[in-house]
Amino acid sequence: MEPGIVIEGSCWFDLAPRGGGAPYRIFLALPKGPAPPAGFPVLYLLDANASFATLVEAQRRGGERPAGTGIGPTVLVGIGHAAGGLYDRARRTFDYTAGPGREMLAAADGRAPDTRMTGGRDAFLAFLRDELKPAVAARAPVDGGRQVLVGHSLAGGFVLDVFGRDSAAFAAYVAISPSIWWDEARLTDGLSHIDGAPRLSVIVGEWEQELAPWLRERPGAAEIAERRARRAMVDRAEAFAMRARAALGGRGAARFERLAGEDHASVVAPALTRALRFALADADG
């Protein structure tokens, strides 16, 4: 398939890692008009097949009234895949993880072990940092000091891992509903490696830890409730943001938001609007 337009104002192209492997589908939306002297800020969004159109629409609408919305011209970059569907679940599990998650190990409670491959975290970060960033900079004037990484769910866990262990890769990080339960010990330990003054925003929906009202009568509600309670998405997200704030020690910033009325899926759209505003905020934002 030839590269082309995905939605109005954006395009896509495929970029293969130099070390081999299947290419990533890269979605790109460039601002209209001239760049500021330092270049445009850049927002990198993971799982772009699922959410890039939502991000572009949030930017289009918010950018019409930047003084009121806090959303201005930003280069939007989505990292996705060429396969059909919103997610390439096997590949994202590999790319976003440093190793098996707690629930992948044979569970004493009778859950079947998860056999998906893991451990591609370092190679994927190297692709983002050493290959994708230069490819974007070749297509638009960008500000190297105002680049933001955004991810949801398992991708949000990857965002937190990079925030701690490779802080200099991006200036700011937005983790939406991060899967801290996957390997909370690694993420917590990573906070001892923070370098510089990165900014972090952790966003989660109100109904990610218990059943939302609209789920209470559906089949399988008890199983959903058990999984949500076990993963404790809200409590873990808030606790991580507090630990990150302490680890920063006055450098950068770490903030937490719980969005009322949202669950694990619906939180993405409002969180992306906040991510755009966060991308443009200064170090005190």
Domain with 223 in it: 4-280
* 22 in any annotated domain: yes
Measured over the CA atoms of residue 164, residue 165, residue 171 and residue 172, the dihedral's sign is negative
The tokens for 221 are: 């509600």
The residue that leads in pLDDT, 1 or 178, is: 178
User: Could you give the dihedral angle defined by the CA atoms of residues 133, 279, 47 and 59, in that order, rounded to the nearest 10 degrees?
Assistant: -110
Spatial separation of the C-alpha atoms in residues 19 and 30, rounded to whole Å: 28
Alpha helices in 103-217 (DSSP H): 121-127, 133-137, 154-165, 184-190
* 285 in any annotated domain: no
Q: Is 72 strand, coil or helix?
A: coil
Measured over the CA atoms of residue 188, residue 189, residue 191 and residue 192, the dihedral's sign is positive
**For 122-150, what is each residue's pLDDT tens digit?**
999 999 999 999 999 999 999 999 999 99
Residue 222 sits in a domain whose CATH number is 3.40.50.1820
* 113 in any annotated domain: yes
Spatial separation of the C-alpha atoms in residues 96 and 108, rounded to whole Å: 26
* Range name among 122-136, 143-157, 214-228, 233-247 with the lowest pLDDT average: 214-228
* 72 in any annotated domain: yes
Q: How many domains does the chain have?
A: 1
Instruction: Please determine, for residue 171, whether its predicted confidence score (pLDDT) is greater than 80.
Output: yes
**For 108-124, what is each residue's pLDDT tens digit?**
456 666 678 999 999 99
* 1 confidence band (pLDDT: 50, 70, 90): very low
